Structure 1
């Protein structure tokens, strides 16, 4: 299998969500994580998804990123109907999405450069994987720390590694789930400035779940979710 991702940066991906429903079982009951959500995000836009904890912000991002599968509704990213994908086509779509998590999700036994490389390891590429990983670490300000393990890095540095990993496949869509949630305010500001710069340089659409009003105010648009619904 190939995972080239070797082309130049271009415009971001456009997103259209229609009538999206996602239910989760909880004990004897059901929790609705997404309740008939419809949403359009233009290519290249930066959109904040806000709302209280448990409102459905992460669920929406997980559905668009195909980490979760919808029970009803449709998701289109450019000309791809995500909700209709399966098998290799679904795996190929997931490889084209960058995901940044609140808790970093780095592999503790791997170095920074190996964490960045990890998504590409199962695939053949037309470019030098190690060179791309090193270049991205330099781009996020971690030149010289390539061999450091996560435990040797600060929280902000770990998030920089996670951002480099999210970009290693040159995605047109970057999904960020509370990317500053585990960071102090000063470090969080650094990470947000970094995301904005990388968005512009790499030509991406950025969809970000956040509870921080100051962060949402910097976005092109804010979508507020409560109890799985856009309000």
Structure 2
């Protein structure tokens, strides 16, 4: 821990967000999803972004993960200004981020193993991707289920596949958007224990959007968001 009580770990990657703005159009109305947010996340920290539905916490993660583009402001990840990237450099950045979604987003026609491998299809990772995918499935407790289809897996098992998929590219930054939102409390607690263990073993910075106070309490730091602003 540092003097401020935050965990620091040089194996992770730092994130700096400055005056970030994201607007959406709804008919004739402009909605500000993220409104001048500034946030620093040290390397190796575990930070929870909390707030009610529609507060902007998921949008903030989507901007950091370059799933959406900001209208104003800067995002720097490991000293790379993400908000200036385009083309291949932006695609390379996205491939280096691990993202865990609330709704799993597994491809129903692919096995668990092939879902984990899917992010590596357009890349040349420089390692045995099949071996890595199998090892990750074993790490998340799904050894022997490599050929199972998503429809044959429980919700918790599907989220474990999604976590393995998020880690297959060896990210130093893991973004988790309501990772337990579609799970019962017992299964969700198991998923969180798994995320924390993998975060420590793989050396990652973890930034998580959640509305669950018990989950936020386990993080090094909690950032509250309301109406697109930090409160």
Name the TM tier (shorter chain).
over 0.9
C-alpha deviations, 1:109-153, integer Å up to 9, x for none? 000000000000122232111111000000000000000000000
Match of 1:169 in 2: 169
Match of 1:75 in 2: 75
C-alpha deviations, 1:196-217, integer Å up to 9, x for none? 0000000000000000000000
Unaligned stretches of 5+ residues in structure 1: 1-9
Partner SS, residue 31 of structure 1? strand
Matched, 1:19 2:23: no
TM-score by structure 1 length? 0.95
Match of 2:218 in 1: 218
Q: Where do residues 33-44 of structure 1 align in structure 2 (5 Å cutoff)?
A: 33-44=33-44
Unaligned stretches of 5+ residues in structure 2: 1-9
Quick check: 2:12–2:43 contact (8 Å CA) kept in 1? yes
RMSD (Å), alpha carbons: 1.0
Partner SS, residue 55 of structure 1? coil
C-alpha deviations, 1:42-80, integer Å up to 9, x for none? 000000000000000000000000000000000000110
Matched residues in 1 for 2:133 and 2:204: separation? 18
Matched, 1:123 2:93: no
Matched residues in 2 for 1:161 and 1:178: separation? 16
- Structure 1 consecutive aligned stretches of length 4 or more whose deviation exceeds 3 Å: none
Matched, 1:110 2:105: no
Q: Where do residues 77-226 of structure 1 align in structure 2 (5 Å cutoff)?
A: 77-226=77-226
Aligned positions, number = 223
TM-score by structure 2 length? 0.95
